[in-house]
Amino acid sequence: MEKAPSKLGLIETYFSEFTPKQLEQLAALEGLYDEWNSKINVISRKDISQLYQNHVLHSLAIAAAYPFPKGVQVLDIGTGGGFPGIPLAIFYPEVKFFLADSINKKLTVVKEIAGAIGLQNIETRHTRVEEIRDRKFDYVVSRAVAPLGDLWKWARPLLLKRPSEGEFPASGLICLKGGDLAAEIAASGTRPRLQEVFDFFPEPYFREKYILYVHR
């Protein structure tokens, strides 16, 4: 099997766990998102050239901070073009990901990209998260979708009560956010664990970007 293209160098700097198949899946994302973004704008055109840093590696910050056990189910609220869900699904082939969004054309992109790279552990649904009533999840993830208070209001009823086990976190909401979050956190009524993405990936882009975890 050919060596993964050098464009994955940034990913491989921080993750050595990927198999050759996973590296192939990651390498295919650039061309697929370039193609789909020309039809449906799911990624800002100003940073599509930084796909692996700004979107893939950023999504994988969740994996760096909070490993998921095999067999759990994870809901990605407002997945958009598939972030953080698709990179996490590549990283965790034995975890089931449920990607929800209220904009169906974005889910078309998610389904087409997942099919093109052979992801078998993704399910999508065109819905608002408030309308999900038939499923429960071990974890809920999101990236820059809504204020923390809203995310927690939506996530809490959908979470199973899974205790922490060793390195694995208890059931909860794990979200990626940026900027000054003090007022947002205060308004949410939650007490999240806050970690800087820069502590995991010391790249200038990740300054003032955070991983928030609110346990069930």
pLDDT tens digits along 117-135: 999 999 999 999 999 999 9
45 confidence band (pLDDT: 50, 70, 90)? confident
Q: Is the pLDDT confidence value at 5 over 90?
A: no
**Is 201 among the annotated ligand-binding positions?**
no
Q: What is the mean pLDDT of residues 182-186?
A: 97
The pLDDT of residue 6 is 56
Reading the block at residue 61, the tokens are 């910050």
**Is 130 among the annotated ligand-binding positions?**
yes
Q: What pTM was estimated for this model as a whole? A: 0.94
Q: What is the mean pLDDT of residues 84-92?
A: 98
**Is 78 among the annotated ligand-binding positions?**
yes
* Sheet (strand 73-77) strand order: 122-126, 96-101, 73-77, 139-143, 172-178, 209-215, 193-196
| CATH code for the domain defined by 6-215 | 3.40.50.150
Q: What is the average pLDDT score of the chain?
A: 93
**Is 143 among the annotated ligand-binding positions?**
yes
DSSP 116: H
Q: What residue spans of 40-176 are helical by DSSP H?
A: 58-65, 85-91, 104-117, 148-155
Q: Is the pLDDT confidence value at 71 over 70?
A: yes
Q: What is the mean pLDDT of residues 59-69?
A: 97
Would you kindly state where each structural domain of the chain is located, as residue ranges?
A: 6-215
Pick 40 or 57 by higher pLDDT.
Answer: 57
Cβ–Cβ under 8 Å, residues 129 and 161: no
Q: Is the pLDDT confidence value at 141 over 90?
A: yes
The pLDDT of residue 140 is 98
